[in-house]
Each structure stands twice: as C-alpha cells, then as structure tokens.
Amino acid sequence: MIACLADARGRGDRGARGGRSAGRARFTGRSGEAGEAPVSALAERARAVPGFKAESGETLPLGREGVALGLGKGGSLSPSTMRTAAAKLVRALDRMSLHKVRLFFADPLPLRDGKGTPLDPALLGRAFGEGLALANWRFDAFDGSASKRTPAQRPLSIGIDDADFRAGVEHGLLLGEAVNLTRRLGATPPNICHPEWVVRTSRRLARELGLRCRVVDFRSAERMGMGGLLSVGRASASKPAIVVLEHAPRTIAPAARREHLVLVGKTITFDTGGYSLKVNNGMKGMKYDKMGGMAVLGAMHAIARRRLPVRVTGVLAVAENMVGGDAYRPDDIITLHNGVTVEVTNTDAEGRLVLADALSYACRHLAPTAIVDMATLTGGVVVALGHFCAGYFCGDPTLTSRLEQASCESGERIWRLPLWPEHRDFMRGDHADLINSNPQRSAHPIQGAAFLSYFVEESVPWAHIDIAGMDSVEHPTDLFVTGPTGYGVRLLADLAEGFTQRAPRAASA
C-alpha cells in the first residue's frame, strides 16, 4: 500500500513559521480537492522506481510533487505499523525540509487485517497521529550557545481527506501532545524540576486545563501523619508534597455515574538512594524516577482536553530522596498515614513509602471506585521483563479487563505478575508492622506491590503498574529520541476512556 504526500510548497505557506517549536505536529483538517498532481499518477511513478517496495515506513521523494510513503502489504496494516510508518515519515520530511504536506491514500484502506480482524480507520488514524507527534519531538529547552545540533523540528501540518482517518489523527495528535508534555517534564533536570517546581507547574497546568488543584504541603502532611512522604523528602531543600488534580466534568456518561477513577503516581524528582546510597553510576538517570507521576499528569492533560465524561483524579506523591543531617536512616521506624508502622530496612526503597501515604490518602479522602498507581518502583521489574512492557499487579477481575483493553488500544504493553498472601507475609517486620524491603533479595517487584497492598482499602479495586523499564530509552528508536518516553500516558487515558463505557467481560482474578 502507498500513501502519497503532496508537497504544498506551491501554496505559499511552506515554512511560514520558522522558529523552534519542537513537538508541534499540526493538523490542518480537510484539504479540499486532490492535489495538483493526481494521486494515482504519483503512486504509479513510485511503483515504477526500482528498489521501492512500498514496505511499511519506506519513503520515496518524488521530486517537486511530493513523497510516497509505503504502508506495507494491506494485510499487515495495524495501528502499530501505522504509528511507526508515521514516525519514519516525520524523519523523512525533516530530511527533505518539508513541513506542510497533504496526505492521500493511493489504495483504499483495507477493512480487515491479514487475520480477518476488522480494521477501524479511526484507530489507524489515531496511531498515525501518535507517530507524527512522538517522532516530531526532542528536548531542546537547554540547547545553549555551544549547541551544534540542528534546530528542533518546525511545526508540521498535514491535511487529510478521509474523514474517519482524519478524526483518528486528531485524537492521536492530542494524545501525542500529552505524551510530549510528560516527556518535557521528565527531561527537565533535577536542579530545576524539584518538588516545589512540580507543585508550581501542576498548579499552572491545572489552571490551563480547567482542573481543580489541591496540594497537601509539608505542614499539612505532618498534621495528617504522612510519615512515609515526610521521611523520604525531609533531607531535600525542596519540601515534599501531595498534589491532587481533579477532573470533575458536568456531564457524566451513564455508565460512569458511580465511578471515580483515581490515578496515583510516584514522583521522586531525584533518587540518590538516600543513606542506602546508589553506587557504580546507578544514580545517573534518576531524574526519571518521577515518570510515574509525570505520566499521571500527562494522562490528566489528555482526559481534560478530551473532556471525558467521567470523574478522574490524579494524585502525585512528590519528594526528592537526598542525604543530609535530617535524612531518614535504615533502622528508623515510621508511622504512615493509615497508622501502619514500617521499619526502614533500605532508604532506596523510597517509592513505596511515598506511594503508601498517597494511596491511603486517596482511600480516606477521595472515595475512589478504582485506584491505579504507576511507578518506577524496582530495578527488579527490568530484570524480569526487560524494556518490552511494564509489570502490573491487580486482584480485581473487572479492573484487570479494563487495563488489558486499554493496553490493547494504546499499544502500551503490560504483563500481569502474581501477588499472593505469601508475598504479603514476606513484608512483615519483627520490630514494626512491616519492613520496606526484605533483606532476602528476591521478587523485588512483587515485594513492592505486596508492601503497597497494606495501604489500599480492601473494598477498592486497585492495580499497581511498575514502569521502571519503560520510562526512558537509552538509544533512539523509530518513535523516541534518547530520553523519556512518556510511557503510561496513553494507557491511563485509554483506561479513563474505558470507564465511560460498560466494563468489558471480567478477566479471571
């Protein structure tokens, strides 16, 4: 299959806005009559070029008239191949310095994939839009006077005629923008992005998005007995906080009348490990220890922008894990928000301490009907699952199905891991109710989940998603430059969207 992109160079608006606005893929809507050169003629020319196989993502410049984009064999088309093809197209357009193009399909989009599964043009369009937005981004906020890098991509605008596909592209671009917000915050270094900066930024975003923002600051956290958050964040010059962002739309979908989804994110702006200090360069990259919370923020952005008719609240547990005279220590015994006591065995297992207070706060104060937390919690999940998917834990069959569905729709992979009573026993302490890490070094991702389970009320469906392998990439891929990926934004936004409809059939628990 081939899509042809006719260059709109002749229309006098190419490169109208120069400048450095990375990450902006703009969509121009209906583009009118087919381009100056008939699409079929462009496609024929492309097919006649020896070596051009129209494989998915393969691009071929066609002189002044435009560029052909291969989409592979019709049967192999899927949201995933569309996303990657769009990303490759962005790179090609960038090489050709084209920023305003119109897209035409030389062949009609197939109705089914190779396995006979129906293909929805809106889903294909959405994936295409995501690919455009994700590939058209890099972090250039700190390009200084010595920077020799090429300027960031200029705005890219694409006109598309197919109405369903176009609606999908608009959805994809909106999601891409939310993911890119998460990536930008993620890439912001810890000397700037510290807890108080996160609080200020959340307040500003909430104002822009029409979300309500409440903050549990250091003093309130003390009054509320949040010993986990306070201990972890105490040694930082920038004090810890819980940020609460509420999306409470006037219109609620009938299926969502009773629902209140709460999304909780680990937001450690930098993790030194504390006195259980990280060694051998293990600290480098720990600015990404905030990516769970940044994914929640990005998801709230998408949820608000799409005006989803369901109540959703985002909760960020924000702290910086530092050393200093007043830092918490191994052997400390602390009392958390729900009265559970914890002996600290390892100050580097800090994420579960801040999340525990946030989860308990959510249960006590927000009346959730489902809670999902997202966290870069353990290196162990990377050992177990690599960088291919996140690991998750969920004991509720309906929430499990909703998550699996959101994962299918977003293409953000998750894999379920076990959490049994024996795992919960493994976290019991001799000197306090719990220990934060068992010195028998095994099943680390499950230990994290087991620990957290003591802070969620049993009646509330809950899932914990460990994204430690997914928050950033060290080498560029088709979709992502080196740096934060914004993983989880689309998964959580799709999960929220799923709550506007009746629950899918429950998976086995």
Which amino acid type is present at position 435? I
Q: Nearest Cα to 162, choosing from 109, 115, 126, 204?
A: 109
Residues between 67 and 126 that touch ligand BES (CB under 6 A): none
Q: What is the dihedral of CA 173, 175, 181, 186, to 10 degrees?
A: -130
Determine contact, residues 229/317, Cβ cutoff 8 Å: yes
Q: Which stretch binds ligand BES (CB under 6 A): 54-62, 209-217, 293-301, 345-353?
A: 345-353
**Alpha carbons 364 and 335: distance in angstroms, whole number:** 16
Selected catalytic residue, list 278, 305, 306, 413: 278
Q: How far is the CB of 288 from ligand BES (least distance, A)?
A: 7
Q: Which stretch binds ligand BES (CB under 6 A): 4-12, 202-210, 375-383, 453-461?
A: 375-383
Residues between 339 and 378 that touch Zn ion (CB under 5 A): 348, 350-351
Selected catalytic residue, list 24, 239, 352, 490: 352
Closer residue to Zn ion, CB minimum distance, 315 or 355? 355
Told to check if 346 binds ligand BES by CB under 6 A, we report yes
Q: How far is the CB of 455 from Zn ion (least distance, A)?
A: 17
Determine contact, residues 482/404, Cβ cutoff 8 Å: no
The secondary structure of 250-312, three-state, reads CCCCHHHCCCEEEEEEEEEEEECCCCCCCCCCCCCCHHHHHHHHHHHHHHHHHHHHCCCCCEE
Q: Which stretch binds Zn ion (CB under 5 A): 112-120, 284-292, 444-452, 460-468?
A: 284-292
Task: Give one DSSP letter per residue of 186-201, joined into a string.
Answer: HHS-TTTS-HHHHHHH
- Selected from 196, 271, 373, 494, the binder of Zn ion by CB under 5 A is 271
The site string for ligand BES over 421-450 (x = CB under 6 A, - otherwise) reads ----------------x------x------
Terminal-residue alpha carbon distance, the chain: 42
**Among positive and negative, which fits the CA dihedral 299, 187, 477, 273?**
negative
- Selected from 130, 140, 177, 350, the binder of ligand BES by CB under 6 A is 350
Closer residue to ligand BES, CB minimum distance, 42 or 316? 316
Q: Taking CB within 5 to 8 Å according to partner kind, which of ligand BES, Zn ion, none is near residue 444?
A: ligand BES
| φ and ψ at residue 341, rounded to 5 degrees | -100, 150
Describe the crossing of helices 489-498 and 397-410 by its angle, rounded to 10 degrees. 120
- Selected from 70, 380, 391, 486, the binder of ligand BES by CB under 6 A is 380
- Selected from 7, 58, 65, 289, the binder of Zn ion by CB under 5 A is 289
Q: How far is the CB of 337 from ligand BES (least distance, A)?
A: 19
Told to check if 373 binds ligand BES by CB under 6 A, we report no
Q: How far is the CB of 178 from ligand BES (least distance, A)?
A: 22
Determine contact, residues 119/128, Cβ cutoff 8 Å: no
- Selected from 202, 376, 400, 405, the binder of ligand BES by CB under 6 A is 376
Q: How far is the CB of 66 from Zn ion (least distance, A)?
A: 48
- Selected from 351, 483, 486, 498, the binder of ligand BES by CB under 6 A is 351
Q: Is 379 exposed, middle or buried (0-12, 13-18, 19+ CB in 10 A)?
A: middle
Strand order in the sheet with 434-435: 333-335, 341-343, 434-435
**Alpha carbons 286 and 484: distance in angstroms, whole number:** 11
Residue 73 falls in the annotated catalytic set: no
The site string for ligand BES over 446-475 (x = CB under 6 A, - otherwise) reads ----------------------x-------
Which amino acid type is present at position 416? R
Q: Nearest Cα to 218, choosing from 203, 197, 204, 234?
A: 234
Closer residue to ligand BES, CB minimum distance, 156 or 377? 377
Q: Which stretch binds ligand BES (CB under 6 A): 143-151, 293-301, 343-351, 489-497?
A: 343-351
Q: Which stretch binds Zn ion (CB under 5 A): 126-134, 226-234, 267-275, 472-480?
A: 267-275
The site string for ligand BES over 267-286 (x = CB under 6 A, - otherwise) reads ----x---------------
Residue 207 falls in the annotated catalytic set: no
Q: How far is the CB of 346 from ligand BES (least distance, A)?
A: 4
Which amino acid type is present at position 197? W
Told to check if 290 binds ligand BES by CB under 6 A, we report no
Q: Taking CB within 5 to 8 Å according to partner kind, which of Zn ion, ligand BES, none is near residue 357?
A: none
| φ and ψ at residue 389, rounded to 5 degrees | -160, 165
Neighbours of 473 (CB within 10 A): 16
- Selected from 177, 289, 357, 494, the binder of ligand BES by CB under 6 A is 289
Q: Nearest Cα to 462, choosing from 385, 350, 355?
A: 355
Strand partners, 463: 372, 394
Q: Which stretch binds ligand BES (CB under 6 A): 188-196, 341-349, 413-421, 496-504?
A: 341-349
Q: Which residue has the tokens 């509720």?
A: 396
Q: Which residues bind ligand BES (CB under 6 A)?
A: 271, 289, 346, 348-351, 376, 378-380, 437, 444, 468
Provide the annotated active-site residues. Answer: 278, 352
Q: Which residues bind Zn ion (CB under 5 A)?
A: 268, 271, 289, 348, 350-351
